Amino acid sequence: MSTMADGQTPMADGSRAVAGFGQALDRITLERARRGDMAAFAAIYQRFGGACYTLALRVLGEPAAAEDIVQDVFLKMFATLRGYRGDAPFGAWLKRMTANATIDVVRARQRFRGDDAEALFEAMPVAASAAEDRADAWSLLARLPERARAVVILHEVEGYTHRELAELFGQSESWSKSILARALKRLGNDDGSAIAEFDP
């Protein structure tokens, strides 16, 4: 069963079941997990672990790194669950935690490698056509520098605003807009049409 762009899964009767970070978490499971009930914690992992992994994998492009992110996020979630006040849906809270952990890895790698984003962008080949983009969107996305890929995924697929991205990266909104525009240009579609091919 495939997930639609709105984070919902089509059902046999034509209705849509919410999937990924959009799923609701019932109060009973949440309260049990807050009290340290491992079965409740396992239920939360079953429900949201795949969404955490998918987000981290899309940004980092490495299964092992994505698995590390999931482990770190769930350990942190378990340790901080009592502080969750419910101001935002649980899935949104966990999504933010996953995005933060993933961006931390991107930043650390960039510092370690001394990446010059300008040079990386200039060295990247421009996609030949929009048709090529749609035919192999993930392959094209993988050619972006990690930080640019993170901005594209978080904005175009996960729905983050430029303001939220600026906060995540510790940059300005104009930085986020510039990175996104340049990344989409390098992908060969300024309107983001190839990105629309991705399932969240």
CATH number at residue 83: 1.10.1740.10
pLDDT tens-digit series, residues 45-56 = 999 999 999 999
Residues 122 and 73 in one domain: no
Residues 83 and 181 in one domain: no
- Residue-range definition of the domain harbouring residue 162: 115-200
Residues 105 and 152 in one domain: no
Residues 8 and 89 in one domain: yes
Report yes or no: 59 and 45 within 8 Å, Cβ to Cβ: no
pLDDT category at 141 given cuts 50, 70, 90 is confident
What is the reported pTM? 0.68
Q: How big is the chain, counted in residues?
A: 200
Q: Would you state the pLDDT for residue 199?
A: 38
pLDDT surpasses 80 at 134: no
Task: Give one word for 61, left, alpha or beta, with left for phi > 0 and alpha for psi -120 to 50.
Answer: left
The residue among 96, 114, 132 that closes a domain is 114
Count of domains for the chain: 2
Residues 6 and 58 in one domain: yes
pLDDT surpasses 70 at 4: no
CATH code, domain carrying 199: 1.10.10.10
Residues 123 and 199 in one domain: yes
Residues 5 and 94 in one domain: yes
